[in-house]
């Protein structure tokens, strides 16, 4: 893919499915490398405006590049107790659409269902992802990933120790 070509939806879908596969495989270092240097990873609270700024409205997760790196480092340690041993997860990504496409950013919307099995329980997280993608050196990169939970609350799921 060259910088001036617009990726097709099939290429975008492959990218999102690949991202999900890395997360299912707990290959978080590889997953982290999908992001740009100025990236954000956001999970708003389910009952707030999902587009409110994380600088003024409480979120569940509002990582910048530093915190995202630290999150990945944390999840690779045995002392990230909530995820040691790692949960088993399976992510479904569907309904992928390119909702806006400018010369430098591609806004992509998709829906997700993430199944997480741990300690004999299965929790389901669902909602929509809104990715802002850019093309860097011929490859798609994530400038921002906002995961908007579709549940009313994290009940009974509790923690969001995985990346949805």
Partner 1 sequence: MDISEIISIDTDRSQFKVHRSGYVNQELFAAERDAIFNKSWLYVGHESEISSPGDFVTRRVAGRDLVLARDSQGDVRCFHNVCPHRGAKIVREKSGNARSFTCIYHAWKFNNAGKLIGLNGPETYPPGFRQDPEHQLQPVPLLDAYRGLIFVNYDSGAISLTEYLAGATEYLDLIMDQAQERMVLIGGVQEYAMRANWKLLAENAVDVFHLQPLHPTYFDMIGALSGSQPSFRGLTGEAHYLGNGHTVVEMDTPAGRPIAKWMPGWGEESKASIERVYADLVRRFGEERAFRIANRNRNLVLFPNLVINDHISLTIRCTEPVAPDAMDVTVWGLAPEEEAGNDVAVKRRLTSFIEFLGPGGFATPDDIEALELCQKGFASRDGAPWNDFSKGMGLSTSSWMDEGQMRYFWVEWRDRLLRNYEAAA
Question: Which one, 71 or 131, has the nearer CB to partner 1?
Answer: 71
Question: Which one, 57 or 134, has the nearer CB to partner 1?
Answer: 57
The least distance separating partner 1 from the CB of residue 135, rounded to whole angstroms, comes to 29
**Other CB atoms within 10 Å distance of the CB of residue 9:** 11
Question: Which one, 138 or 155, has the nearer CB to partner 1?
Answer: 155
Return d(Cα 34, Cα 136) in angstroms, integer: 10
**Other CB atoms within 10 Å distance of the CB of residue 1:** 12
> Which residues of the shown chain bind partner 1 in the complex (CB under 8 A)?
43-48, 52, 54-62, 66-67, 70-71, 73-74, 77, 79-83, 119, 121, 152-161
H or E segment and range at residue 19: helix 9-24
The least distance separating partner 1 from the CB of residue 93, rounded to whole angstroms, comes to 20
> 78 in helix, strand or coil?
coil
The least distance separating partner 1 from the CB of residue 102, rounded to whole angstroms, comes to 26
Nearest residue to 34 via CA among 151, 134, 162, 161: 134
DSSP single-letter state for residue 13:
H
Question: Which one, 71 or 143, has the nearer CB to partner 1?
Answer: 71
The least distance separating partner 1 from the CB of residue 65, rounded to whole angstroms, comes to 12
Structure tokens at 141: 């990169």
């Amino acid at each position: 893919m060259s910088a001036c070509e617009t990726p097709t939806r099939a290429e975008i879908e492959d990218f999102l499915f690949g991202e999900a596969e890395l997360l299912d495989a707990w290959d978080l270092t590889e997953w982290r490398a999908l992001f740009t240097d100025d990236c954000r990873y956001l999970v708003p609270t389910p009952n707030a405006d999902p587009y409110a700024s994380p600088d003024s409205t409480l979120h569940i997760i509002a990582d910048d590049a530093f915190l995202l790196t630290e999150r990945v480092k944390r999840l690779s340690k045995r002392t990230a107790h909530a995820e040691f041993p790692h949960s088993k997860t399976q992510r479904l990504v569907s309904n992928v659409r390119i909702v806006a496409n400018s010369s430098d950013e591609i806004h992509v919307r998709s829906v997700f269902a993430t199944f997480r099995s741990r300690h004999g329980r299965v929790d389901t997280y669902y909602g929509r992802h809104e990715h802002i993608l850019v093309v860097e050196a011929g490859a798609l990169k994530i400038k921002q990933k906002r995961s908007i939970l579709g549940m009313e609350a994290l009940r009974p799921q509790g923690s969001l120790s995985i990346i949805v």
